[in-house]
Amino acid sequence: MNPLRKQRLYVVLSIFLGTAIAVLLVFQGLSKSINLFYSPSEILKAQIEAGTEIRVGGMVKKGSVYRETNSLKLSFEITDFEEDLVIEYEGILPDLFSEEAGVVLKGTINSKGVFVAHEVLAKHDENYMPPEVAKTLKQKK
């Protein structure tokens, strides 16, 4: 390679490495705030002030969903397998909401330590399969 091209190669490489390192450092610093939601244990540890709007995510605990009979109100618990958090919500749920599935909620913590959600998003996992396969998998369990 002739010296001029070699020099340009070094310039290109250093531009690439420079921006890569800078961007990664910035993201390292911002890492916590890039997370879309907190886990229940983070929320309980952080003692978040009542009334601050936050997002929390976790898995809906099996058997914890309780629906009121004549309204859209419901309550359930979410867990990160360390701590549980009680959720209250009134409104329409996304199709994928179910027990033992991930959810991301937006809302506030009230003085009793109950999370009052006003938005429920269902998290989907990366697994796709036909219904028959899901059935046999369940039977094997």
Partner 1 sequence: MGSPPFFFKWASRLLPWFSPISFSILIIGLIWGVGFAPSDYKQGDVYRIIFVHVPSAILGQSIYLMMAIFGSICLIWRAKLAGMFLRSAAPLGASFTLIALISGAVWGKPTWGTWWVWDARLTSTLILFFLYVGIIGLYSSIDNKQKGDRAASLISVVGVIIVPIIKKSVDWWQTLHQPSTFSITSSPSMTSDMYFPLLICVIGFYFIFVSLLCNRLRVEILTRERNTTWVKEYLNNKV
- Using CB under 8 A as the criterion, which residues of the chain lie in contact with partner 1 when the complex forms? 5, 8-9, 11-12, 15-16, 19-20, 23-24, 27, 31, 34-39, 57, 93-96, 104, 119-135
Q: How many CB atoms lie within 10 A of CB 94?
A: 13
Taking the least distance from each CB to partner 1, the nearer of 50 and 134 is 134
Taking the least distance from each CB to partner 1, the nearer of 5 and 112 is 5
CB of 17 to partner 1, least distance (A): 10
CB of 126 to partner 1, least distance (A): 5
User: Who's near 45: CB < 8 A, 6+ residues apart?
Assistant: none
Distance (Å) of CA 30 to CA 23, 35, 39, 48, 110: 10, 9, 17, 20, 28
Taking the least distance from each CB to partner 1, the nearer of 38 and 76 is 38
Short-list 83, 70, 93, 68, CA closest to 38:
83
